[in-house]
Structure 1
Amino acid sequence: MDAPPMEHALRDRVTEILDRCTSCGACAEVCSGSGHCIPACQHGVNPRLMLALARVADVGRGDSGGRRKVGFTRFGAMTTGVRVLSRLQMPPDLLARFRPESDLVNDASAEPPEVVFYTGCNVMKTPHIALLCLDIMDALGVRYRVMGGPSACCGVLQFGAGDLATSGRIAYRTIDRLAAAAPRALSWCPTCQVQLGEIAAPTKPDTRLDMRPFVLFLAERLDTLRPLLRHPVRKRVGLHEHPGTAGVPEAAQAILRCIPELDLVDLEQPRVGYMCNKLSPLPAFKQDVHRQQLQAAADAGVTTLAGIYHACHRELCSHERDWPFEVVNFLELVGESMGLQRPDLFKRLKIMQDIDAILQDAAPMLTANGLDLEEARDVILRDMLGEQPLALAGSALTI
């Protein structure tokens, strides 16, 4: 029997939530977007899902054609951004590691993969993070396939536009592909983890999806990872974290504490949401979060502010120019201790704050990947330089 469309299944979830919710307010007493509301409910309601469905119901009041158009436009913009920014930073041989049609196991023996590493889409704007994930799995001897990109999307953009029919088709297709590729899927993106694991998969009958965050996967293998952390990393590190995916901040901390001579300090900042971009509906609040985080890092005398997720890194990395510490993804510190290195080209380009300088620096990649110059200019302006919630100190963007 064919699975019912996700929109029908979600209507059933709405009915169930309305039956169970007693309006006790327990979920409202904990941090918004933190995920702490889920265990706080004593009646079996997922308040984060409840709010997501309420938002979808609100945007879904318009005509279905309009919703499809909004979702299509958002998806197109994302696809273009991922395609262009990844190709500004990676030559064709590295890009091939992420092409869906390759679908190759990393182990030459061609034994079945243990896991499928699911990149999602937007991490490819900062490809050094995804490459470090693969490098670390190679060092651990993990057999994996790679899947992701717009052809294996989670459907969140269509979901947010209220186009549940299209979102369901995309999500269900991706779930089937992930389940067929390996016994377990490892997600990088918390948005994908929530969209597929918390929203879509529970509505799909007979789904076999077993997906968990890559950071938790690494923490589960600390006994194997620890001996590979051979090189001291003499840095004082503050962690930029979001609690929305349960256990991930604690796992990242546990991994960092295994690095020889690394000094991890608690910046004692508010922990909200599951990535910085989820704070976008509250721009002033988001600016305050970033401003306070940077100041707390400076006050603590850190040498390094390390984030966990890609969207946070895109928004924070250029502040390295103005503050007395570097801004990195925490996997860069893991890689440094393991003797692995992937240059952060996104940060290097963004710090230039000059679109012509960026295009000149990236000219070899533009040529190698056959990118259109004007399209690249538009994407850099929108998806790199334009993504700066808290303005850099005393700077004027050169366009």
Structure 2
Amino acid sequence: MRASAFRVFCRASFLCAAAFVCLPHALSQAQGDQLQSTYRDGIAAMKAGHPDQAEQLFRRTTEMDASFAPGFLDLGLAQLREGKLPDAIASLNKALDLDANAPGADLFLGIAYYQTNHADEAVVHLQKAIAANPNSVEANLWMGIVELSTGHPELATAPLDHAAELSPKDENILDYRGQAHMQVARASYATLYQLDPGSWRVHRLKAQIADEGEHQQQAIDEFLAAIKLAPKQADLYEELGDEYRKTGATELAEKAYAQQLELTPGNPVAMYNLGSIRVDRGEEKTGVPLLEQVVKLYGHPTVADYYLGRGLATEGENAQAEAALKRATQVEGEVQRRAWYELGQLYRKTNQPEQARAALEQYQSLRQANDRETARKEEDWRRLNASGGNALASQP
């Protein structure tokens, strides 16, 4: 089992601990008290990270009362933590025999069956766990892990997508989800290539792969090849324009974006692309009207406000430029920093020194915060490489 999957298991294995405190009425008061005390000691041992002690204590509760489903359930969890998989499966199945609704039993049986290479049984129990609790992050995650590891990435995407919706910042979920979607995409394009090796879609894929590797000229060549085969595909011109923009070929980028807009009139993305490149090229007279349409269509702050503010400032429309740039400061990230910088320059130009100072201070503050975060990530990456990945494996 992968280290990340093991951490998922360790986190999930505490879900059912202390799930039951109701004791059988058939026992005497003294027997019930003893059973309750032993059961609680087992829970404490599990929480303290001593599954071997917990196993002994939970087994004792099942010996005290052979119908005590919680004892068998948590006995199975302790055995699962110890790697005693056949024993865990037997204990968890016994818990389900005694209580068909034993919380978490199907989830952990799914995990145990998966670890013993019984994927079909794992899927059955994980499906039951999801049916009982559709919003269980762990059940959806493990369903995705099982389907992914058994060569069914197309069946893994849905549960992993749902798990990501429920827990959007979970790194394990994001990892497995990314793997599933990448494998599905690769399989789709492999089939596409087999069906038509000369397809424009294959050229686009090659272009996108080249772009990811920062091989812009190769990407440009592939996009041009795709366009030759599919000259009416507007998205190809957008991606081609983006590649030209990255290389500084703004005139060619403008021509590509213009073709995109011609094919999709009224498309705000196409209008933004063409309007922003024209502002970059000093062609505000034709760029600003396009950006004004985009801002009106979107109705909320976007990067279009930043370029509109720049264009208006160049044209001397200072009040309108200020309003647009202020809207752009609400867009987090690089746009926000640039907008504050441009506001500072605008205030200087209009003889508003106090406002200029405040705007530039805001810009500096945001820039320094970004520099610190970038440095932190670089240091984390350096440490990870220096440790050969051990730092990741040691995380809880």
Same fold? TM cut 0.5: no
Give the TM-score normalised by structure 1. Answer: 0.22
Give the TM-score normalised by structure 2. Answer: 0.22
Higher strand proportion (structure 1 or 2): 1
Higher helix proportion (structure 1 or 2): 2
